[in-house]
């Protein structure tokens, strides 16, 4: 069965009308609460409700950044991070002497590296949190005025976007990895200047370590690395220390992200690479987006029509590919005159009929892959979909597009998508 | 030296360097050579089928420049710089409306 033209538009409208917002959108949260509760239980204290509420709004906590999930007891000394093991120490092993016991510290690498590694996967969430504090957003028209059309299946969209879609886009864009590394390094610099240079979490307590020579007081916690000795002169509960560190993390994030400047990060993007992007509108709709460079389409009159760069996007309405990917689901995110875009204002849909086996194939793929393939298909529809078999909403001659000569198009480096005058034997869908 | 990548839509089919003497080959011949390196039989079949369809599109990206080409075009005409990355994208026909 072939879905095409007015039919798919009607089906799309009907399906859209059936959608409504049932609950508030959620964002992915690191499982901070559970970890903090465990630490609190170990230290015999319960974190206050206020602290838990504050942290719930922030997508990351310092327990995660420090890696306390893997190394629940650790020491940061001389720029390295090490795990405190509950066993007898070997000869010349770095140790912590606590009360009558001595446990070895197994150093695993530079503290800076651990911080960077921990922060990198969370940058988009942190950026989003920082952006949520600001009001200015473009592309607000994508939300329209009818919030009743918000999708019902919003649970899991945030985690999908941050944990699968953005990493998939990042795979294809080393450029952004480099950019993210710069941002992560800035965050790490901010943290390292605000945290104590030497500290440890052990036995449900936090210790600020101070270099020391001489004989310590009896029962004074002592950390020994080779010939260097540190005393845990400052001490407190692990929970309070982590709450303080979380505040530091929030302040550093708040300071770093606005400093990245305006541009796309001000416009509600969670991620923007060379081609792909992910956006969250003010009302909380997620869009997977694709940027298209300028191009030229040959008309059936053999003239070359110039089209400016465009950004197209598909709203992620469900974590089920079968629900969100339809013949009329990709939008041009701004005003754009094109043969296959029904209206010319912002947010209008691209009509791209496909056979049912196309959607069947997409539904078998991971959602992020399906979304990106459908967007690529939409890009090709705009660029190369003008054929004898197409049924455009507008004639190419009525769009008011500039007409270029072959030489001018080549001089500008624009790709020319030819009209297949003599093509035969292809269904074309 | 060019590192050449062959894609079918957004799917990567093969990556191989373009040797000096291959500059005189055509786009179609280069794609065939790259397909020999591809382990994905399904992708190979899809690309070969697309190459037979005159409504399919072949794009070549070199840096920021994108060109549409035909299988018969010589690679020499498409290489701008002395080295870099070259991405050949084969797309099945897409119709709008």
Same-domain check for residues A239 and A104: yes
Number of domains in chain A: 2
Q: Which of A231, A265, A299 is the last residue of a domain?
A: A265
Q: CA-CA distance, A365 to A170, in Å (whole number)?
A: 18
Closest residue, chain A, to B54 (C-alpha):
A423
Q: Is residue A190 part of a domain?
A: yes
In 3-state terms, what secondary structure has residue B71? coil
- Do B91 and A426 lie within an 8 Å CB cutoff? no
Could you tell me if A46 and A192 lie in one domain?
yes
CA distance linking residue A418 with residue B73, whole number of Å: 15
- B96 in contact with chain A, both atoms CB, cutoff 8 A: yes
Rounded to a whole number, what is the distance in Å from the CA of B81 to chain A's nearest CA?
A: 14
| CA-based nearest distance A378→chain B, Å | 8
Contacts of A426 in chain B (CB under 8 A): 53-55, 93
Closest CA to A241 of A107, A34, A45, A30: A45
Quick one: A404 and A315 in the same domain? yes
Residues A326 and A197 occupy one common structural domain: no
Q: Which of A357, A368, A380 to mutate to test the interface with B (most CBs of B within 10 A)?
A: A380
Best residue in A297, A338, A385 for a mutation probing chain B (most B CBs within 10 Å): A385
pLDDT, position A262: 41
Domain annotation covers residue B57: yes
Q: Is residue A163 part of a domain?
A: no
- Tell me which of A265, A295, A312 is where a domain ends: A265
Whether A10 and A132 map to the same domain: the answer is no
Interface of A to B at Cβ within 8 Å reads 4-5, 172, 293, 295, 339-340, 350-353, 372-373, 376-377, 380-387, 389-393, 413, 415-418, 420, 422-429
Mean pLDDT by 10 residues, chain A (429 residues): 47 44 32 47 45 58 90 91 91 87 91 91 80 48 55 71 86 57 80 88 92 81 88 91 93 67 56 83 86 92 90 89 84 87 83 90 93 95 93 92 89 90 52
Q: Are residues A295 and A410 in the same domain?
A: yes
Within this chain, do residues A242 and A104 fall inside the same structural domain, yes or no? yes
B96 to A383: CB separation less than 8 angstroms, yes or no: no
- Which residue in A426, A427, A429 has the most chain B C-beta atoms within 10 A of its own C-beta, making it the best mutation to test that interface? A426
Residues A256 and A289 in one domain: no
Does residue B97 fall inside a structural domain?
Answer: no
SS3 B89: strand
Put simply, whether B67 touches A (Cβ < 8 Å) is: yes
Residue numbers of the domain that contains B48: 2-91
Asked, for residue A273, whether it belongs to a domain, the answer is no
For residue A410, give how far its alpha carbon lies from the nearest alpha carbon of chain B (Å): 9
For residue A160, give the nearest of A56, A326, A315 by alpha carbon: A315
- Report the number of distinct structural domains present in chain B: 1
Asked whether A352 and A381 are in contact (CB, 8 A), the reply is yes
pLDDT at residue A147 in the model: 44
CATH number at residue B28: 3.10.20.90
Q: Is the ipTM of this complex over 0.95?
A: no
Choose one of A220, A237, A265: the last residue of a domain: A265
For residues A369 and A241, state if they share a domain: no
- Per residue in B22-68, pLDDT tens? 888 999 999 999 999 888 899 999 999 999 988 899 999 887 788 99
Q: Do B68 and A415 touch (CB under 8 A)?
A: yes
How many angstroms separate the CA of residue A261 from the nearest CA in chain B? 24
Chain B residues within 8 A of A381 when measuring between CB atoms: 94-96
Q: Are residues A14 and A124 in the same domain?
A: no
Note down the domain range covering A195: 32-138+176-265
State whether A9 and A60 are in the same domain. Answer: no
- Percentage, residues of chain B above pLDDT 70: 96
B1 or B89: whose pLDDT is higher?
A: B89
Nearest to B97 among A391, A415, A422 (CB): A391
Does A427 reside within a domain?
no
Cβ contact B10–A429 (<8 Å): no
Residue A224 counted as domain residue? yes
Contacts of A383 in chain B (CB under 8 A): 57
Exposed e or buried b per residue across A118-132, where buried means at least 16 C-beta atoms within 10 angstroms of its C-beta: bbbbbbbbbbbbbbe
Percentage of chain B lying above the pLDDT 90 cut: 49
Q: Is B66 helix (H, G, I), strand (E, B) or coil?
A: strand
In a domain? residue B81: yes
Q: With CB atoms and an 8 Å threshold, state whether A5 touches B97.
A: yes
In a domain? residue A197: yes
Whether B96 is in a domain gets the answer no
DSSP type of residue B67: E
CB-closest option in B9, B65, B68 to A416: B68
As a whole number of angstroms, the distance between CA A137 and CA A282 comes to 7
* Residues A333 and A409 both lie in one domain: yes
Gyration radius of chain B over CA positions:
13
């Amino acid at each position: 069965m072939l879905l095409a033209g007015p039919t798919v538009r009607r089906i799309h409208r009907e399906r859209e009308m059936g959608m409504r917002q049932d609950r508030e959108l959620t964002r992915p949260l690191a499982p901070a609460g559970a970890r903090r509760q465990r630490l609190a239980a170990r230290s015999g204290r319960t974190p206050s409700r206020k602290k838990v509420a504050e942290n719930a709004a922030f997508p990351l906590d310092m327990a995660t950044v420090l890696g306390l999930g893997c190394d629940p007891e650790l020491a940061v000394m001389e720029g390295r991070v090490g795990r405190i093991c509950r066993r007898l120490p070997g000869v010349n092993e770095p140790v912590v002497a606590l009360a009558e016991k001595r446990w070895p510290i197994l150093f695993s690498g530079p503290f800076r590296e651990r911080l960077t590694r921990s922060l990198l996967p969370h940058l988009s969430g942190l950026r989003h949190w920082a952006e949520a504090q600001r009001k200015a957003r473009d592309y607000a028209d994508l939300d329209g005025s009818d919030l009743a059309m918000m999708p019902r299946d919003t649970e899991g969209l945030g985690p999908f976007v941050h944990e699968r879609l953005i990493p998939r886009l990042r795979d294809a864009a080393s450029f952004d990895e480099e950019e993210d590394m710069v941002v992560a390094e800035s965050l790490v610099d901010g943290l390292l200047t605000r945290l104590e240079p030497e500290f440890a979490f052990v036995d449900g307590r936090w210790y600020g370590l101070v270099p020391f020579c001489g004989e310590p007081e009896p029962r004074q916690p002592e950390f020994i690395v080779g010939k260097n000795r540190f005393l845990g002169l400052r001490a407190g509960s692990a929970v309070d220390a982590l709450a303080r560190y979380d505040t530091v993390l929030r302040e550093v994030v708040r300071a770093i992200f606005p400093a990245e400047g305006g541009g796309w990060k001000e416009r509600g993007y969670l991620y923007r690479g060379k081609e792909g992007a992910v956006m969250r509108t003010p009302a909380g709709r997620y869009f997977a987006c694709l940027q298209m460079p300028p191009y030229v389409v040959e008309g059936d009159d053999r003239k070359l029509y110039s089209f400016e760069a465009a950004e197209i996007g598909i709203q992620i309405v469900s974590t089920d590919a079968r629900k969100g990917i339809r013949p009329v689901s990709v939008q041009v995110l701004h005003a754009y005159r094109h043969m296959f875009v029904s209206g010319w204002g912002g947010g209008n849909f691209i009509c791209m009929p496909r056979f049912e086996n196309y959607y069947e194939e997409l539904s078998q793929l991971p959602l992020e892959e399906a979304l990106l393939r459908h967007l690529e298909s939409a890009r090709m529809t705009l660029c190369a979909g003008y054929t004898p078999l197409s049924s455009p909403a507008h004639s190419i001659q009525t769009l008011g597009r500039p007409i270029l000569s072959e030489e001018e198009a080549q001089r500008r480096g624009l790709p020319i998508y030819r009209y297949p005058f003599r093509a035969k034997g292809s269904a074309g869908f | 030296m060019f590192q050449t990548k062959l894609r079918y839509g957004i799917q990567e089919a093969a990556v191989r360097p373009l040797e000096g003497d291959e500059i005189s080959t055509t786009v179609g011949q280069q794609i065939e050579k790259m397909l020999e390196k591809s382990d994905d039989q399904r992708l190979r079949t899809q690309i070969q089928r697309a190459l037979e369809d005159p409504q399919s599109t072949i794009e070549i990206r070199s840096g920021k420049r994108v060109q549409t080409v035909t299988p018969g075009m010589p690679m020499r005409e498409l290489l701008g710089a002395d080295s870099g990355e070259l991405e050949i994208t084969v797309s099945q026909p897409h119709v709008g409306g």
